[in-house]
Amino acid sequence: MSFTAQTAFEARNTNNALDSLANIAGKYYVSTTATDCDAGQLCTRDSLLDCEGFTGVKNENTWKMVAATSSADANDVIYACNTYDTKLLSDGRNNWFVGHETLGLGVPAGRYGNFTRINFDGQSVYRFGAGNVTLNTSTDTFFTIDAGKLTSTASEPTTAGKIYFTLRAKGNFVEGMQASFAYYDLVACKVVA
When pLDDT is cut at 50, 70 and 90, the band that residue 130 belongs to is: very high
Condensed to tens digits (0 to 9), the pLDDT of residues 145-170 reads 999 999 999 999 999 999 999 999 99
* Average pLDDT value for residue range 107-117: 91
- Residue 99's pLDDT is 60
When pLDDT is cut at 50, 70 and 90, the band that residue 32 belongs to is: very high
Query: Is a pLDDT exceeding 80 seen at residue 131?
Result: yes
Strands 79-81 and 42-50: antiparallel
Q: Count H helices and E strands in the chain, helices first.
A: 0, 15
